[in-house]
Amino acid sequence: MFDIDKLEMLVTVSRLLSSKLDIGDLLTTIMRLATRVVNSERASLYLLDEKTQELYFDVALDLDDDLKKMRFKLGEGIAGHVAKEGKSLISNNVDRDPSHTKKVDDKSGYVTKSLLTCPMIIKGHIIGVVQAINKIDGEFNEDDKNNFEAFASQSAIAIENSRLFNSVKDEKIKLENIFKIIDEGVVVTDESGEIKIINNSAIKFFDYKREKNIKIYNILEKFNSEIDIAGLVAEKKNFKFLIEKKDSKKLILECNFIAEFSSNELLWIFTDVTQKVIESKISREFLSLVSHKFKTPITSMVGYSQILEQINSDNEVIKRAIKSIIAQGFKLSELVDEMIDFSSIENKNQFDLKKTGVKSSEILNSMVSQYKNKYKDVSFESVIIDDFEISVDIDLFHKALSEIIKNAIKHNSKPNKKVILTSKIINNSKTVTVWDNGNGIPSDEIDKIFDKFYQVESGFTGQTEGWGLGLSMVKKVLELHNFSYKIKSQIGRDTLFTIIFNTDVKKVAGTCLPSGR
């Protein structure tokens, strides 16, 4: 049983141990307190090396450094035996204890007469052993053992807490060092937008002055952006967008906003894409220039061939040649038009968009009307389950939908082709879908079809016409609008392309249910 004095001492010991977080300071404190708890001459503390399964002196008061380098295998000596068995041991006459090893005494010259050894256990795992050496008055008894076991338990908890604290501290230092040296600008804010951490790159990007700029909104004021930053923070959705510096110095940053960084912190990663944007623009302008240069001779070739076609000729070879020239000329013209469209769209950024509010029914019905006249052998249908308003650049959005529809028709070898356009609110999100009953897309191709110049293998579809730029344009248009998308496809059955409008739902009307599926 604990007497009052011992109980009070253990409470005091507990407070002292819980106040120490530096591991070296803590272990020294444990040793000094251990001698007081059971009134011993000395104390030693062994920690367990998890890799080698050996005990080593981390703290042994008044021992030389050479002695502190000694190690003991599990089962070796009384300390090794206690660590292996996980049970405390009283040995009041170590000379008669076969488990005792005199390695330490032989090197130190100190004479060990009695030992009280207790394992330090945390969550069922032994992390070390604490040992009281030579009872000052009398012998170690059961009360001493009980007191020392309570002390060993408190010490184990304190050591574990200190290790966790130091591990987190080390990781924090590593993270801060990484933040300092990486090229990306990194800003961590709280939920109100107040800046908590900012690295060197971000300081340079935003000319950050700590006494002036407190919130993320302040440092972004010098940049153009169509994004409502306050709304973005309120919604807590991961998002990627561009910002461009307002002054004469060209600086374009891509911001990757991560709302799920922690429970009450937001992460902003800024990447300098200025050179990338400039080089891409030069490349696209060159592509556009070349395409326009092709356009004039192709137009002349087709025009003069059509004139020749009107001239009567008895030579069938000449007639077929002229027809072939005209047909191939039109194909080449379409390819050039596609390249010009691609160059034009690729050159655009969010600031170029001419957004207008328009109902989903208006867009879908106009697309169906347009393509019904163009493709007589395809069944088109618009299904307006929910009619809602969306803010889009109408010309660009029409172009994106057109490319999706053309791909649906192009990759459909079935005799009865169907395309259904649907507007619907799903999980409080506005969506427009394009469904077709075509050949489907192989699962390993879905992530690739949006790459520039990529085409699904001709062996699968039987089609290789075009540049493979259509869906790349679709991706660009949707990204400019900050819309997301997904594709679900079944080989030989159908494909469903879903566009998700990342805006608040304002339902206009509800009409007919889908049919013909």
Residue-wise pLDDT for 112-132, tens only, equals 899 999 998 988 889 899 888
Does 342 lie in the same domain as 204? no
CATH of the domain at 465: 3.30.565.10
Return the pLDDT at 513.
Answer: 31
Q: How far apart are CA 27 and CA 195, in angstroms?
A: 38
Return the pLDDT at 385.
Answer: 94
Give the count of domains, the chain: 4
Return the pLDDT at 164.
Answer: 82
Cα 232 to Cα 50, 240, 256, 323, distances in angstroms = 47, 11, 12, 57
Q: How far apart are CA 495 and CA 443, in angstroms?
A: 11
| Residue 102 lies inside a defined structural domain of this protein | yes
Return the pLDDT at 453.
Answer: 61
CATH of the domain at 105: 3.30.450.40
Residue-number span of the structural domain to which 363 is assigned: 350-510
Residue count of the chain, please give it.
Answer: 517
| Residue 54 lies inside a defined structural domain of this protein | yes
Give me the residues of the chain with pLDDT under 50, please: 1-2, 457-463, 504-517
Q: What percent of the chain has pLDDT over 90?
A: 19
CATH of the domain at 215: 3.30.450.20
Domain boundary among 170, 202, 227: 170
Does 139 lie in the same domain as 103? yes
- HEC string of 202-260 equals HHHHHCCCCCCCCEHHHHCCCEECCCCHHHHHHHCCCEEEEEEECCCCCCEEEEEEECC
Does 406 lie in the same domain as 477? yes
Does 96 lie in the same domain as 17? yes
Return the pLDDT at 388.
Answer: 93
In the structure encoding, which two tokens stand for residue 36, read together? 């007081």
- How many other C-beta atoms can be found within 10 angstroms of the C-beta atom of residue 167? 10
In the structure encoding, which two tokens stand for residue 135, read together? 């009872």
Is the whole-model pTM more than 0.85?
Answer: no
Does 68 lie in the same domain as 160? yes
Does 32 lie in the same domain as 149? yes
Does 285 lie in the same domain as 371? no
Identity of the amino acid at 81: H
Q: How far apart are CA 54 and CA 65, in angstroms?
A: 18
Does 311 lie in the same domain as 197? no
| Residue 177 lies inside a defined structural domain of this protein | no
Does 327 lie in the same domain as 381? no
Does 490 lie in the same domain as 381? yes
Return the pLDDT at 506.
Answer: 40
Q: Name the one residue in this structure whose structure tokens are 């009450």.
A: 264
Does 166 lie in the same domain as 234? no
Does 317 lie in the same domain as 395? no
